[in-house]
Structure 1
Amino acid sequence: MAIDEQDRYFPEELIGYHNDESKMPYYCYLFELKPNFQYDVKPQNIVLAVHKMLNRDLGEFGFDLNADRGKMIVNVNLVGKLTLTPSEVALCQQFQVKLFNLLLKRNLDKLHEEDAHSRGDGSAVFNYLLIPALGSRHDLSIDWRCISSVLYQKNAAFADHSKCSSAVHTKNGLVCHCMIENSLVFTPHNGFLYCVNGTLDGVRGDTYFTPKDKESVTYKAYYKEKHDISLEYEQENLLCGKHIFTVHNNLRRCQTQNKKEPSYSSCELPPEICLIMMSPISISTIYSFTFLPSLMHRIESLAVASNLKSIPLGGTTNVEIQAIKVLEALTTKECQEELHLESLETLGDSFLKYAATQQLFKTHQSRDEGLLSLKRERVICNASLCKLGCDRKIPGFIRTEPFDLKTWAIPGVPCGFSVLKEEQMSTSGKVYTGRRRQIKSKTVADVVEALIGAFLSAAGEVAALSFMVWLGIEVNFEIVPYTKTFVINPGMHVNIGYIESLMGYKFQDASLLVEALTHGSYMRPEIPTCYQFLGDAVLDYLITVHLYHNYPGLSPGLLTDLRSASVNNDCYALSAIKAGLHNQVLHLLPDLHRHVAETVDKAEDLRLVETFGWESEANLPKVLGDVIESLAGAIYVDSGHDKETVFQCMKPLLDPLVTPETLRIHPKRELIQLCQQENYTMRKTQISRHADDGLAHASVAVEACGVVHEETRSAKNRKLAERLACKAVLKTLKEILTADS
């Protein structure tokens, strides 16, 4: 469900107003571009100049952009301040506006327009400068000669270059070689733009060459036949040109890497067909500017994220969280970037569930598990999280779309999509708003969970709790003594020594074991049964944290799969059977006893050691999974909320824990991924329950290459029936793909 239209935020640091009256100080950030691939064009370093300093952790950091050939490594460093005169600012603005118009729009009608600041309409615009630089960060200087290339057509007089040894004829008239050898030219006969980076000595209009699939011919004859152009100066050397580079979204993941770039290959250009647009400008400068829209989109996104990381978190001090971590939490999969929120969402979801659960447990110690679960759901459900997020204006920070070059605002040019309006966010700063959009309520909830995960991973549980309190979730980790409302002799009900030896833990209060192992049917109403409620959340959180920290650098989504394969009833139930805990459950249900006995009899077929839950085709009793969770809850209470003790005691029961190497993805998720990969259509799963057998029936259908493959499976619950049906369809599709390969 989409919520009302929400603003999109833009960072104050990159936005400003017209000011043409005095010298202006700028903070300068050096962009060092370093390709990790071989290419004959080397990028030039660029300086970003802004009126307001970026957040501190943007003063020195790095990230990668995806290029056609590999990764372009970007290092950003604050290098000092620079004061520019109004005329220098205007020149820099004209340069970047003209070059970006050439690269992005190829629109020659706009090339002679003045920059937006000269209009003086008083509106806010993206007000920063991107300046070609010479040298490194230690001996940096501005490449004013390159920046002045924007003025070429206004003062392109051959007399200014009388020292040059030769001149050539162009569409601009007679010019010297030094002005065309490093230039950006337009050829009116085909409407193309080229970067010229030299002269081909000895290659002239009367030189023979062999066009593709044709006989040898002179350039003069070729241009006459191909373009009906008669070359008048056939004795002049031809120029070495490259088609102007195509600007890409370099943030998009899985960019195709090509060993060859035919569209950028060299070509020979007669000078007389060329109209010089900018000169002198090197091909390295032009190449670097193709990466700047994507680079600045990342800077813009990080600057916005910095506003959110700077929020006051009550009494918490020294909370260090990098803007890139906050940005990860704000970026949805729809942005199609390598960076997105799924791993942090998984981590934050588990912590939120744990924090809310322990808060409810200590507040309502003797309440029924079902009632506590309902209360927890009200706290952590998507609707509640969305409302809290909207109250704190989080939707404006969220990124929900891929970077679009068509809507990117060239700095200095009014935004085509909206008027930017100033909005105060907190005592620490402000943002600008523009281009309202609709966002799904679940997306807001996911981002709230991911932000909790970001604060947790970067600064620990106290910071995550403080962020939750700032949101409006009332939680704390104060330990409230557990109050028992009954007296019981635990040794009369459970084998205390056996269970303690299993877990390597000595209970201070063994009656907690009785509570943990008591089923609701056991006819002892004075014994609470809410340890499964507590242990479920504690164990989920501990396993998720274990996976997150033990396997750093997991691709987003893999943590979710690992958690799903580790934290589920089937996995826990198999562990309980393996440890013999099925004999310790206190219950009075004959049907349950029979179900457990049947499951244990089949245990050998389930191959317990190798199975993490999804491979089992049996309907494993929920009570067996509950036993594992209840024991975790009992140890948590008995140890004074010591989570490390809980994990060390429960880990032997759960071993071997799933790893990225042993992971078996849930059949439904695997089927969805296969359909996306092969462009198959997965139809909506049909679930029904028949009165005659009481079983759930699931039908899963996939249309592949015009053929519908459908499988129906039955089980005692819908989840198992659907899993079995997905598994059957997967088997069929994999056999077809294997046969076709």
Structure 2
Amino acid sequence: MYLREVKLTSEKIHRCQMFQVILLRALVRKDLSKLAESLDGYCNVMDSTSFDYLLLPTIGSNNEASINWSFLDSIIYPSANREDNHTNCFSQSMDDCKLVNTKSGLVYSCRLENSLVCTPHNDTLYCVTGILHDLDANSILELRKGESMSYKEYFKSRHEIDLVYEREALLNAKYLPKMRNYLKKSSAEKGKEPSGASLQLPPELCSILMSPIPHGLYYSFSYLPSIIHRIESLLLARSLKRLHMDHCAQSVSIHTTKILEAITTKKCQENFHMESLETLGDSFLKYAASRHLFTTYQNDHEGLLSLKKEKMVSNDALCKLACDRKIPGFIRTEPFDPKTWAIPGDTSLDKSLDVEVISPKRKVYNMGSRKIKSKRVADIAEALIGAYVSTSGELAALSFMVWLGLDMYYAKTPIERHFPINAEKFVNVRYIESLIKYKFRDPSLLVEAFTHGSFMQSEIPRCYQRLEFIGDAIIDYIITVHLYNKYPGLTPGLLTDMRSCSVNNDCYALCAVKFGLQKQILYFSTDLQKHITNTVESVEKLCISTTFGWSSDISFPKVLGDIIESLAGAILIDSCFNEDKVCESILPLLEPIVTPETVTLHPVRELHEFCRGRGYIMRKPSVTPKDGVSFITMEVDVNGTIYSDICSAPNKDAAKKLACKNLLNKLKIECASIELNVELNE
């Protein structure tokens, strides 16, 4: 909150800077030698030309707040006249103040209250909160285990110190607050000392470092490192945003907090990180690339389009582009550590910075180098794309992608099609349109969407593969957006699992069989016909109520999933890339959509996590192809005992899924048996 401008002399600026550095050093480093250097340096150094910003205590209400100079004057105390006139006396009248013996010499008791002291015998800093007039060195100290002794005896036995001024009142003191990372997720760290714990100190053992400075101010300042680190992180994110804005022709609005989320990795241990945005950005990137390639290369088949897309959006390609834009320097990869925090204005820790001009308007300051995996850099690039998609829309995301170096544009030219055929002759157009609640302008797209590569007729020059290429990308994108928007508080890992559970061939194939779309497929292949017939019979026997997940043991022919993707692609092209139309037509077919409560893991991944959590060893699978069928053997070493399963399916992935599922069930039964025996033996 901005209040007003305050003008300070160079002497006052220096005093503010010294107060800030000394107090924060006491809290952050708790280093007496460094603190002493700072205090000694106050009298010798008058350089106010080099400082970052000032963090100062105020007095008064919010609107009338002003700098509390009485607290800032506390740093003058070590060099001030000990026998002053009791200025800034906090809780006692001047008549009650008495001279007290300390390591700093004779001082008035009012100066001890609300002071920062150190005890040289154990090199510890304390804040004094009051004077205990009813306790002195001869008072009894109750120890643990029922022991008791006088304070004088305690310091003699524990520290070999003979207290001289036995009748002087003890000081009530507290440890300085423990510095914590308050940005840490679920930060509930417990310090070694209870926050309200007090202890008693003889004044003669204390050396006064700052006075007056109340106990509550230490706690207020203990939050500052975390607060300032968050502000600095936001400024970092803002700088990255400006790098893009400087080259952005259109007006793009994006919250700096979203950029910060996108550059924050899970290792930072904060309440947010980039993984959800990465999932969203990855999906949009692949859709945008597919759409760009589909419209740009209208005569290329699906294989060529896939190769070009992989070259554009691979991790290696993204990493190179991100490095060219200096993005790795903005990535946050470590949790904040207050102990290593660079205190503003602390010149003893100054590090040299290399300046690099990266645009006519911008320059960056380089502190050094660090190692970041190329995949991590690519993930951050995808997360930044996701940040733009989630807050500013697709055009803003495309603008960022173009700045990044991805030459992707939404072509405005129509897709050229010359298929003058009678669509009803080949597919049941009315049934399909009523099912998806969408009427095609060009029904020939439906024919193309259901034409398998084995179907050779001159009237139909193309099979569904190009439509499958763009349809795969649009379904992935609309489902990812649906899950991201419907469950905003979803953990990144769960979002990824839900996406995987919903976007896969098994899910689409079940959907196709559920609505009888296999009857619309145009193909000439007896093997495919047999596979489809067997699959439909198996699905009807199982009576599966949902189309997501991995519960089915059926090995689905790829064509059944492909036609759902090609149907989505046909709607997208016919509607002139109206994504909402695809969403309205396809999502109802896939219902019920997976929820956080119904999500399941793929059997292969679940087996990996099951074994990793228990220290079991998964052996490399053995694959044997025979007569068009893949046989796969999966083995797990459980403390020397080998568990295995062999499954077969028309393709390797399906066989592996079945083998992992069976093996997982065996291991779960075995683990349950072991746990039961342990309970019985106990």
Q: How high is the TM-score relative to the length of structure 2? A: 0.89
Task: Tell me which of 652, 655, 660 is aligned to 2:596.
Answer: 660
Q: 2:69 aligns with which of 139, 144, 162?
A: 144
Q: Distance in 1 between matches of 2:158 and 2:257?
A: 53
Match runs of 1:631-710 below 5 Å: 631-670=567-606, 680-681=614-615, 683=617, 686-691=620-625, 694-695=629-630, 697=632, 699=634, 701=636
Q: Tell me if the contact between 2:117 and 2:209 (Cα under 8 Å) persists in the aligned partners.
A: yes
Alignment of 1:529-678 (within 5 A): 529=464, 530-604=466-540, 606-610=542-546, 612-670=548-606
In structure 1, the residue corresponding to 2:57 is in which secondary structure? strand
Deviates more, 1:601-610 or 1:448-457: 601-610
Q: Which residue of 1 aligns with 2:379?
A: 446
**Does structure 2 conserve the Cα–Cα contact (< 8 Å) formed by 1:241 and 1:266?**
yes
**What is the correspondence of 1:228-377 to structure 2 with a 5 Å cutoff?**
228-256=160-188, 262=194, 265-310=197-242, 311-312=244-245, 316-377=249-310
1:598-628 Cα distance to aligned partner (Å, 9 max, x none): 2222214655324522222332222111111
RMSD of aligned Cα (Å): 3.1
Partner of 1:25 in structure 2? none
Name stretches of at least 5 consecutive residues in structure 2 with no aligned partner: 88-93
Q: 2:419 aligned with 1:494, yes or no? A: no
Give 1:125 shift.
Answer: 7.3
Q: Equivalents in 1 of 2:175, 2:112: separation in Å?
A: 15
Superposed CA offset, 1:149-185 (max 9, x none): 2222221513342836223322112222222221222
CA distance change for structure 1 residues 79 and 627 in 2, over 3 Å: closer, same or farther? farther
Q: After the TM superposition, which residues 376-525 of structure 1 pair with which residues of structure 2 at under 5 Å, given as runs?
A: 376-414=309-347, 418-524=351-457
Q: Provide, for residues 309-368 of structure 1, a one-character-per-residue CA deviation record: whole Å limited to 9, x for no partner.
A: 122365644322121110111111222222211111111111111111111111122321
CA deviations on 1:622-660 (whole Å, 9 max, x unpaired) are 211111111100011111211111101111210011122
Change in CA separation of 1:523 and 1:738 when aligned onto 2, cut-off 3 Å = farther
Of 681-690 and 136-145, the range deviating more from structure 2: 681-690
Structure 2 CA distance for aligned equivalents of residues 661 and 523 of structure 1: 46
Where does residue 462 of structure 2 map in the other structure? 527
Match of 2:32 in 1: 108
| Distance in 2 of aligned mates of 1:109 and 1:659 | 58
Tell me what 2:91 maps to: none
- Specify the code of the residue in structure 2 equivalent to 1:690: T
Note closer, same or farther for the CA distance 1:721–1:194 as it changes in structure 2 (3 Å cut).
Answer: farther
Sort the Cα spacing of 1:164 and 1:294 in 2 relative to 1 into closer, same or farther, 3 A. farther
Deviation at 1:418, TM superposition (A): 4.4
Write the distance in 1 (CA, Å) between the matches of 2:482 and 2:319: 28
Q: CA deviation at 1:451?
A: 0.8
Deviations 1:127-146 (A, max 9, x none): 22221223443121112222
Q: State whether residues 486 and 527 of structure 1, in contact with CA within 8 Å, keep that contact through their aligned partners in structure 2.
A: no
Q: Deviations over 1:666-687 (max 9, x none)?
A: 34555666678x5x54656613
Distance (whole Å) between structure 2 residues aligned to residue 620 and residue 156 of structure 1: 90
Higher strand share: 1
Change in 2 beyond 3 A, CA 1:708/1:473: farther
Which letter does structure 2 place at the counterpart of 1:166? C
Out of 608-617 and 470-479, give the one that drifted further. Answer: 608-617
Are the structure 2 counterparts of residues 174 and 381 from structure 1 closer, same or farther at C-alpha, using a change threshold of 3 Å? same
Q: Is the 8 A contact 1:207 1:219 kept in 2?
A: yes
Helix, strand or coil for the counterpart of 2:146?
coil
Secondary structure in 1 aligned to 2:17? helix
| More RCO (CA 8 Å, sep 6+) | 1
Q: Percent identity?
A: 48
1:670–1:173 Cα change, 3 Å:
farther
Distance 1:496 1:101 in 2: 76
Contact 2:116 2:127 survives alignment (8 Å): yes
CA distance in 1, matches of 2:250, 2:395: 10
Gaps of 5+ in 1: 1-76
The equivalent residue for 1:212 is 144
> How far did 1:257 drift?
5.3
* Contact persistence 1:321–1:458 (CA under 8 A): yes
Equivalent residue number for residue 51 of structure 1: none
Shift of 1:537: 0.7
Q: Is the 8 A contact 1:305 1:327 kept in 2?
A: yes
Structure 1 residue 698: Cα displacement: 5.7
8 A contact 2:13–2:48 mirrored in 1: no
- 1:483 and 1:122, CA in 2 relative to 1: closer, same or farther beyond 3 A? farther
CA contact under 8 A between 1:187 and 1:273: conserved in structure 2? yes
1:7 equivalent in structure 2: none
Which of 11, 14, 24 is matched with 1:90 structurally? 14
Matched-pair contact (CA < 8 Å) for 2:318–2:381: yes
CA distance in 2: counterparts of 1:684 and 1:120, whole angstroms: 66
Q: Which letter maps to 1:180? A: L
